[in-house]
Amino acid sequence: MTPLAIRPYEDSDHEAVRTLFIRVNRELAPVALRERFEDYIASSLAGEIDRIPAYYDTARGCGFWVALREGALVGNFGLEPAEGVAAFELRRMYVDPRARRLGIARIMLDRAEAICRERGRLKMVLSTSELQSAAVGLYRAAGYRLVRQEIAAQPSNKTIGGGIIRFHLEKWL
Protein backbone atom coordinates (compact mmCIF):
# COMPACT_ATOMS: atom_id res chain seq x y z
CA MET A 1 0.00 0.00 0.00
CA THR A 2 1.18 3.51 -0.78
CA PRO A 3 2.14 5.39 2.40
CA LEU A 4 -0.60 7.36 4.07
CA ALA A 5 -0.01 11.02 4.88
CA ILE A 6 -2.06 12.62 7.64
CA ARG A 7 -1.95 16.39 7.88
CA PRO A 8 -4.07 19.25 9.23
CA TYR A 9 -7.06 20.31 7.16
CA GLU A 10 -6.55 23.08 4.61
CA ASP A 11 -9.22 25.11 2.85
CA SER A 12 -8.34 23.31 -0.40
CA ASP A 13 -9.57 20.04 1.23
CA HIS A 14 -13.11 21.37 1.68
CA GLU A 15 -14.77 19.88 -1.39
CA ALA A 16 -13.21 16.43 -0.90
CA VAL A 17 -14.15 16.34 2.82
CA ARG A 18 -17.68 17.51 2.00
CA THR A 19 -18.07 14.89 -0.75
CA LEU A 20 -16.80 12.10 1.52
CA PHE A 21 -19.15 13.14 4.34
CA ILE A 22 -22.18 13.11 2.03
CA ARG A 23 -21.19 9.83 0.37
CA VAL A 24 -20.62 7.91 3.60
CA ASN A 25 -23.81 9.14 5.23
CA ARG A 26 -25.91 8.33 2.19
CA GLU A 27 -24.33 4.88 2.13
CA LEU A 28 -25.27 4.35 5.81
CA ALA A 29 -28.88 5.45 5.38
CA PRO A 30 -31.45 2.67 5.72
CA VAL A 31 -34.25 3.05 3.18
CA ALA A 32 -36.80 3.95 5.87
CA LEU A 33 -34.56 6.74 7.19
CA ARG A 34 -33.29 8.30 3.96
CA GLU A 35 -35.22 11.55 4.45
CA ARG A 36 -33.90 11.89 8.01
CA PHE A 37 -30.37 11.27 6.76
CA GLU A 38 -30.75 13.97 4.10
CA ASP A 39 -31.89 16.40 6.82
CA TYR A 40 -28.93 15.35 9.00
CA ILE A 41 -26.52 15.81 6.10
CA ALA A 42 -27.86 19.29 5.34
CA SER A 43 -27.73 20.31 9.00
CA SER A 44 -24.22 18.92 9.49
CA LEU A 45 -22.93 20.61 6.36
CA ALA A 46 -24.27 23.99 7.47
CA GLY A 47 -23.26 23.69 11.11
CA GLU A 48 -19.94 21.90 10.86
CA ILE A 49 -18.54 20.55 7.59
CA ASP A 50 -18.89 23.79 5.62
CA ARG A 51 -17.22 25.69 8.46
CA ILE A 52 -14.45 23.34 9.62
CA PRO A 53 -11.90 26.08 10.49
CA ALA A 54 -14.42 27.79 12.80
CA TYR A 55 -15.99 24.63 14.24
CA TYR A 56 -12.67 22.88 14.87
CA ASP A 57 -11.02 26.09 16.13
CA THR A 58 -7.44 25.31 17.11
CA ALA A 59 -7.57 28.07 19.74
CA ARG A 60 -9.98 25.81 21.67
CA GLY A 61 -7.59 22.88 21.28
CA CYS A 62 -9.57 21.38 18.42
CA GLY A 63 -8.38 20.28 15.04
CA PHE A 64 -9.36 18.49 11.86
CA TRP A 65 -7.06 16.23 9.85
CA VAL A 66 -7.13 14.61 6.43
CA ALA A 67 -5.57 11.35 5.29
CA LEU A 68 -4.07 11.36 1.82
CA ARG A 69 -2.85 8.51 -0.37
CA GLU A 70 -1.21 9.37 -3.67
CA GLY A 71 -2.42 12.94 -3.17
CA ALA A 72 -6.10 11.96 -2.90
CA LEU A 73 -8.17 12.36 0.24
CA VAL A 74 -9.06 8.89 1.56
CA GLY A 75 -10.16 9.81 5.07
CA ASN A 76 -10.56 12.46 7.72
CA PHE A 77 -11.19 12.99 11.42
CA GLY A 78 -11.69 15.78 13.89
CA LEU A 79 -10.96 16.27 17.57
CA GLU A 80 -12.81 18.57 19.92
CA PRO A 81 -12.62 19.03 23.68
CA ALA A 82 -14.90 16.67 25.59
CA GLU A 83 -16.71 17.55 28.78
CA GLY A 84 -15.30 16.47 32.10
CA VAL A 85 -11.74 15.21 32.42
CA ALA A 86 -8.98 16.30 30.07
CA ALA A 87 -10.29 14.45 27.03
CA PHE A 88 -10.86 14.88 23.33
CA GLU A 89 -13.84 13.58 21.44
CA LEU A 90 -13.13 11.89 18.12
CA ARG A 91 -15.49 13.21 15.47
CA ARG A 92 -16.14 12.69 11.78
CA MET A 93 -13.76 9.81 11.24
CA TYR A 94 -14.58 8.57 7.77
CA VAL A 95 -12.73 6.46 5.21
CA ASP A 96 -13.57 6.59 1.52
CA PRO A 97 -15.49 3.38 0.73
CA ARG A 98 -13.06 2.67 -2.15
CA ALA A 99 -10.15 2.67 0.32
CA ARG A 100 -11.61 0.53 3.09
CA ARG A 101 -9.99 -2.63 4.45
CA LEU A 102 -6.51 -1.16 3.95
CA GLY A 103 -5.88 -0.21 7.59
CA ILE A 104 -6.51 3.50 7.02
CA ALA A 105 -9.02 3.85 9.87
CA ARG A 106 -6.60 2.22 12.30
CA ILE A 107 -3.77 4.52 11.21
CA MET A 108 -6.03 7.57 11.63
CA LEU A 109 -7.19 6.35 15.04
CA ASP A 110 -3.58 5.85 16.16
CA ARG A 111 -2.74 9.37 14.96
CA ALA A 112 -5.75 10.84 16.78
CA GLU A 113 -4.64 9.14 20.00
CA ALA A 114 -1.09 10.44 19.52
CA ILE A 115 -2.43 13.98 19.08
CA CYS A 116 -4.42 13.60 22.29
CA ARG A 117 -1.31 12.55 24.19
CA GLU A 118 0.78 15.33 22.61
CA ARG A 119 -1.80 17.87 23.80
CA GLY A 120 -1.93 16.48 27.32
CA ARG A 121 -5.32 14.78 27.02
CA LEU A 122 -5.77 11.73 29.23
CA LYS A 123 -8.66 10.12 27.43
CA MET A 124 -10.41 9.93 24.09
CA VAL A 125 -14.16 9.50 23.85
CA LEU A 126 -16.32 8.86 20.82
CA SER A 127 -19.74 7.74 19.76
CA THR A 128 -20.94 5.77 16.79
CA SER A 129 -24.15 4.08 15.74
CA GLU A 130 -25.38 0.57 15.28
CA LEU A 131 -25.25 1.25 11.52
CA GLN A 132 -21.45 1.37 11.69
CA SER A 133 -20.61 -2.14 12.89
CA ALA A 134 -17.13 -2.08 11.33
CA ALA A 135 -16.35 1.10 13.28
CA VAL A 136 -17.60 -0.47 16.52
CA GLY A 137 -15.33 -3.46 15.87
CA LEU A 138 -12.34 -1.22 15.15
CA TYR A 139 -12.80 0.76 18.35
CA ARG A 140 -13.30 -2.34 20.49
CA ALA A 141 -10.19 -3.99 18.99
CA ALA A 142 -8.23 -0.79 19.74
CA GLY A 143 -9.10 -0.98 23.43
CA TYR A 144 -12.14 1.28 23.66
CA ARG A 145 -14.72 0.27 26.22
CA LEU A 146 -18.43 0.80 26.02
CA VAL A 147 -19.51 3.43 28.55
CA ARG A 148 -23.18 3.53 27.61
CA GLN A 149 -25.58 3.10 24.80
CA GLU A 150 -28.73 5.01 24.08
CA ILE A 151 -31.54 5.13 21.60
CA ALA A 152 -31.17 8.44 19.82
CA ALA A 153 -34.69 9.74 19.41
CA GLN A 154 -33.91 13.36 18.54
CA PRO A 155 -31.50 14.57 15.86
CA SER A 156 -28.34 16.47 16.83
CA ASN A 157 -24.99 17.24 15.26
CA LYS A 158 -23.95 13.72 16.28
CA THR A 159 -26.97 11.64 15.30
CA ILE A 160 -29.93 11.59 12.97
CA GLY A 161 -32.20 10.42 15.79
CA GLY A 162 -34.91 8.13 14.49
CA GLY A 163 -34.46 5.46 17.15
CA ILE A 164 -30.96 4.41 16.10
CA ILE A 165 -28.81 2.92 18.85
CA ARG A 166 -25.77 5.06 19.64
CA PHE A 167 -22.72 3.57 21.38
CA HIS A 168 -20.51 5.79 23.56
CA LEU A 169 -16.96 4.51 24.03
CA GLU A 170 -13.82 5.71 25.75
CA LYS A 171 -10.17 4.87 26.14
CA TRP A 172 -7.68 6.13 28.71
CA LEU A 173 -4.48 7.02 26.96
Please give the model's pTM, rounded to 2 decimal places.
Answer: 0.93
What domains can you pick out in the chain, each with its CATH number?
A: 5-124 (3.40.630.30)
- Beta carbons within 10 angstroms of residue 33's beta carbon: 18
Q: What is the 3-state secondary structure (H, E, C) of 54-116?
A: HHCCHHHCCEEEEEEECCEEEEEEEEEECCCCCEEEEEEEEECHHHCCCCHHHHHHHHHHHHH
Q: State the Cα–Cα distance between residues 158 and 145, nearest whole angstrom.
A: 19
pLDDT-derived band at 1, boundaries 50, 70, 90: low
Q: What is the 3-state secondary structure (H, E, C) of 24-52?
A: HHHHHCCHHHHHHHHHHHHHHHHHCHHHH
Task: Give the model confidence (pLDDT) of 109-156 as tens digits.
Answer: 999 999 999 999 999 999 999 999 999 999 999 999 999 999 987 766
Output the pLDDT for position 157: 62
Q: What is the DSSP letter of 157?
A: S
Q: How far is CA 158 from the centre of its chain?
A: 10
Task: Give the model confidence (pLDDT) of 50-93 as tens digits.
Answer: 999 999 987 777 899 999 999 999 999 999 999 766 899 999 99
